[in-house]
Chain A
């Protein structure tokens, strides 16, 4: 990192599940106010990396600093510290079925910060407006919304407490191209508006190029390339090149076993 202190600093991060070594020494840092997108194939460890930083998974070894504080010990106070700093948009939106949309958006305010329902609802409606949803939508249940609307609500929930860091897990997965672009625009717009640092993981290259200040590629548990989006086409890395152009042939071999073959 240059002269600026990194908002997120990861060094030598390892995580295994049994014999499956998912993360094999990740080194990564993100400057304040910047948007980093981590790309990589399915099963490359992107989600594990994100969950480790969020304190949802305990890493085996390595250091992880969030806003200068080492949170790799995974203690309760570390997790609380990270939760207070961050907002997260989950791949499947992860909205609470039993609550209305506005209660979902205001969940942290209602149950984390114990604010009044009136104040929390006002804030939730404001956040819904920021992602293009009306107050009437706030009274609905998540099951009554389309996939695109659920993503918007999830984004509204992530930004409701004005977090310093935002995480996006596959924000456009399962959406049509137009709705994907709407979500990408909202992400760029909201991240800039609240001045947050953003870390996204995706394998949607269009989305990555749109929301990233920098892109890093994760392959076999390590970062193999990092650079600005406009250098992605000429990365000089054959694995990045194969991934970006979606070619089956190349140095990245997918683990596919056919029936009848060993």
Chain B
């Protein structure tokens, strides 16, 4: 095999996939914000993606906050290390760990579910059936999911931020003997409005990416159960990679500004 041809084919495949997904994302965004709106599937998606993800996001946040507090305390070279805990923990949770970890958990839960559900609908001709019933399946299936995930994600991350910081509070106050008022005051003094906003902007972008990848791979799946399985796996991996890449890009942007 000619290695140059192989590289060329691979490059074309990669750029082709990026192009298709970008087109899908733009069309999906338009379907989410232009009529006709399908309120029932939107509210169902909001409940499934937002409300049902609360336990897993909350647990992830509380344990991450607790572990982070311990690490800051144990890793510090200063004798009064616990004084730094609220500041470092607060900024880490609100800017990075809250949005990224919550989004990864939601990607695992929801991106896979979207790919599997839409993929199964594709292979059982339910999407074809929708077209024959005068309903645009893209608008009915993709638009509400993108809108719901994009709205739900910042709310989930805000809750994850609060729970994560509370996890750090529990460890700091009850395990490391830190004063509760000092922890709370240090947190309030150190976390800025911009820290919270940047985290929530990230969460909105991540929510959009989670829904787009789940819907994209589900909508394009074929080849029976194997095809749906592949779509599900690829959706989760793609969502995770895109979250990390977008996190870096957005962090660079926020640091510059």
Known: A111-B38, A114-B36. A94 touches B131 (CB 8 A): no
Contacts of A68-122 to chain B: CB distance below 8 A = 79-80, 83-84, 86-88, 90-92, 94-98, 107-108, 111-114
Task: Say yes or no: A54 contacts B134, CB within 8 Å.
Answer: no
Q: Which residue of A lies closest to B129 (CB)?
A: A94
Task: Say yes or no: A94 contacts B140, CB within 8 Å.
Answer: no
Q: How far is the CB of B96 from chain A (nearest CB, A)?
A: 36
Using a CB–CB cutoff of 8 Å, the interface residues on chain B facing chain A are 36, 38, 44, 117, 120-121, 124-126, 128-135, 140
A55 at the interface (CB under 8 A from B): yes
Of A86, A87, A91, A107, the contact of B135 (CB 8 Å cutoff) = A107
Task: Say yes or no: A86 contacts B132, CB within 8 Å.
Answer: yes
Task: Say yes or no: A111 contacts B132, CB within 8 Å.
Answer: no
Give Cα A161 to B135, complex, Å: 13
A157 at the interface (CB under 8 A from B): yes
Q: How many residues of A contact B (CB 8 A)?
A: 27
Residues of B near A88 (CB, < 8 A) are: 129, 132
A51 at the interface (CB under 8 A from B): yes
Q: How far is the CB of B196 from chain A (nearest CB, A)?
A: 36
Task: Say yes or no: A96 contacts B135, CB within 8 Å.
Answer: no
Known: A111-B140, A114-B36. A92 touches B132 (CB 8 A): no
Interchain residue pairs with CB less than 8 A apart (21):
A54-B128, A54-B132, A56-B132, A83-B133, A83-B134, A90-B125, A90-B128, A90-B129, A91-B125, A92-B124, A94-B124, A94-B126, A96-B121, A107-B130, A107-B135, A108-B133, A108-B135, A111-B133, A112-B133, A112-B135, A157-B133
Task: Say yes or no: B125 contacts A113, CB within 8 Å.
Answer: no
Residues of B near A92 (CB, < 8 A) are: 124-125
Task: Say yes or no: A108 contacts B129, CB within 8 Å.
Answer: no
Q: Which interface residue of B38, B125, B131, B133 has the most chain A CB atoms within 10 A?
A: B133
Known: A111-B38, A111-B140. A83 touches B132 (CB 8 A): yes
10 other contacts beyond A56-B132, A97-B126, with CB at 8 A cut-off?
Answer: A54-B131, A54-B132, A83-B134, A87-B132, A88-B129, A90-B125, A98-B44, A107-B130, A108-B134, A157-B133
Residues of A near B132 (CB, < 8 A) are: 54, 56, 83, 86-88
Of A83, A87, A96, the contact of B131 (CB 8 Å cutoff) = A83
Known: A111-B140, A114-B36. A84 touches B134 (CB 8 A): yes
Task: Say yes or no: B131 contacts A55, CB within 8 Å.
Answer: yes
Known: A92-B125, A94-B124, A94-B126. A113 touches B131 (CB 8 A): no
Task: Say yes or no: A96 contacts B126, CB within 8 Å.
Answer: yes
Q: Which residue of B lies closest to A55 (CB)?
A: B131
Residues of A near B121 (CB, < 8 A) are: 96-97
Q: How far is the CB of B24 from chain A (nearest CB, A)?
A: 17
Give Cα A112 to B132, complex, Å: 10
Q: How far is the CB of A143 from chain B (nearest CB, A)?
A: 12
Residues of A near B133 (CB, < 8 A) are: 83, 107-108, 111-112, 157
Residues of B near A86 (CB, < 8 A) are: 132
Residues of B near A54 (CB, < 8 A) are: 128, 131-132
Of A94, A97, A111, A161, the contact of B125 (CB 8 Å cutoff) = A94
Residues of A near B117 (CB, < 8 A) are: 98
Task: Say yes or no: B36 contacts A113, CB within 8 Å.
Answer: no
Give Cα A12 to B139, complex, Å: 33
Give Cα A219 to B36, complex, Å: 43
Give Cα A97 to B117, complex, Å: 10
Residues of A near B129 (CB, < 8 A) are: 88, 90, 94-96
Residues of B near A113 (CB, < 8 A) are: 134
Task: Say yes or no: B134 contacts A94, CB within 8 Å.
Answer: no
Residues of B near A90 (CB, < 8 A) are: 125, 128-129
Q: How far is the CB of B144 from chain A (nearest CB, A)?
A: 11
Contacts of A44-60 to chain B: CB distance below 8 A = 51, 54-56
Residues of B near A55 (CB, < 8 A) are: 131
Give Cα A143 to B126, complex, Å: 14
Q: How far is the CB of A170 from chain B (nearest CB, A)?
A: 12
Q: How far is the CB of A56 from chain B (nearest CB, A)?
A: 5
Q: How far is the CB of B86 from chain A (nearest CB, A)?
A: 45
Task: Say yes or no: B135 contacts A111, CB within 8 Å.
Answer: yes
Q: Interface readout for A154-184 with B: 1 if CB under 8 Å, 0 if not?
A: 0001000100000000000000000000000
Of B44, B126, B128, the contact of A56 (CB 8 Å cutoff) = B128
Q: Which residue of B lies closest to A111 (CB)?
A: B135
